[in-house]
Amino acid sequence: MNHFKRYVILGGDGVFGIYMAKYLLEKTDAERVICVGRNPRKHPAYTLDVGKGDPRFKYYQIHLTFEQDFLFEMFDKEKPECIMNFAALAYATSWTKAYRYYETNVVALAKMTEEIRKRDYFKHWMQIGSSEVYGSSDKAPAREDTPPNPTSPYSVSKLAGDQHLLTYWNTLKFPTNIIRPSNAYAPGQQLYRVWPRAAYCAVTGQKLPLQGGGMVEKSYIHATDMARAIHLITEKAPRGKIYNAGTEKATKIRHLIKLTAQAAGLTFEQLADITPGRVGEDARYWLDSSEILKDCGWKPEIPLEQGADEMIAWARKYKDFLATEPLEYTLHA
């Protein structure tokens, strides 16, 4: 059993880093929770005011690719025991400027891990990987030992990062674990993701362009369930292991949109317009999560119906602000 009190969350201004900080501040006896992001802190629609007024919390604006000198100055000041790495370029349509994905997801990771292992205060590197490294799971859920089949530069870069960490563990005993979660969601996601965009469309009377009719299947878990899985791994898991974390069955995106429409008092037809599918998109992401249940006692707890209600409530609360936000993904360095 491991027990940490001082955490740094890289990618800590993204929605999943936000929920990780929220979980640590509310559910553990953490003494220090540091979030690091490349931008100034976002609007409360995205940060949900996590950490506001809490003396245990601090946010640092540092670019992990181009400002690692500042990053390690902060590490040496704050002395984190556990570093949780959510930071990644993480959009699957990575066919243009693919090198950006390798800069962040592989090269920056290699530089950070080479330096942090020299610090005696450092105890554990928790890597947030991606289930997309398995490719489409058409016949059976992917296990941790399923041969990888990445189908985009993004998923190739995530697999390369995982392999780097595993070689560090195998040869240098660098203390690390990797979680490959299924598709996580939560209020606070940006609008280029399908579920928050669906919720925003539902509360504003707009139509959601639903790619391919929403027939792609994914295993959706709430960001709170993901945060709980990550914390359990840091506390209980043998080092050097990969863990999948997902639902028992995959769900069609179309079903999520139906739940969203219902939560807003609409029909599916009132909310969705069918559009062509995305180039190169895998048909099904489906994970076998029996290993994390065995080692850490984790399984998802929050039902999709609750998620739909939360998404609609969030979209209603921040409707005016969200009207100013872009609906499409923009790649930044």
Residue 260 inside a domain? The answer is yes
Shared domain for 32 and 58, answered yes or no, is: yes
Within this chain, do residues 200 and 240 fall inside the same structural domain, yes or no? no
- Closest C-alpha to 256, from 305, 223, 326: 305
In a domain, 291, yes or no: no
Q: Are residues 199 and 312 in the same domain?
A: yes
Judge if 43 and 174 occupy the same domain: yes
Q: Distance between CA 114 and CA 104 in Å, rounded?
A: 15
On whether residue 292 sits in a domain, the answer given is: no
Task: State the pLDDT at residue 169.
Answer: 98
* 251-294: pLDDT as tens digits: 999 999 999 999 999 999 999 998 876 555 556 778 999 999 99
- Determine the pLDDT at residue 1: 72
Reported in sequence order, the residue ranges of the chain that DSSP labels E, i.e. its strands, are 6-10, 32-37, 57-61, 82-85, 124-128, 176-181, 184-185, 208-211, 217-218, 221-222, 242-245, 251-252, 272-275
**Whether 228 and 117 share a structural domain:** yes
Secondary structure (H, E, C), 144-203: CCCCCCCCCHHHHHHHHHHHHHHHHHHHHCCCEEEEEECCEECCCCCCCCHHHHHHHHHH
Residues 170 and 262 in one domain: no
The predicted structure's pLDDT at residue 58: 98
First-residue to last-residue Cα distance in the chain: 38
Distance, CA of 105 to CA of 108 (rounded, Å): 6
69 plus 87 within the same structural domain: yes
- The answer to whether position 332 is within a domain reads no
Q: What is the pLDDT of residue 277?
A: 64
Whether this prediction's pTM lies above 0.75 is answered by: yes
Are 47 and 171 in a shared domain? yes
Report the number of distinct structural domains present in the chain: 2
Distance between CA atoms of 5 and 24, rounded to whole angstroms?
Answer: 9
Q: Could you say which residues of the chain have pLDDT below 70?
A: 91-93, 277-283, 329-333
In-domain check, residue 290: no
* Residue 171 included in any domain: yes
Are 124 and 94 found together in one domain?
Answer: yes
293 in any annotated domain: no
263: domain CATH number? Answer: 3.90.25.10
Shared domain for 61 and 131, answered yes or no, is yes
- Domain identity same for 170 and 204: no
277 inside domain: yes
Residues spanned by the domain of 116: 6-184+221-245
The string of pLDDT tens digits covering residues 191-210 is 999 999 999 999 999 999 99
pLDDT value of position 93? 64
Residue 230 belongs to a domain with what CATH number?
Answer: 3.40.50.720
- Please tell me whether residue 130 adopts helix, strand or coil conformation: coil
Q: Are 124 and 210 part of one and the same domain?
A: no
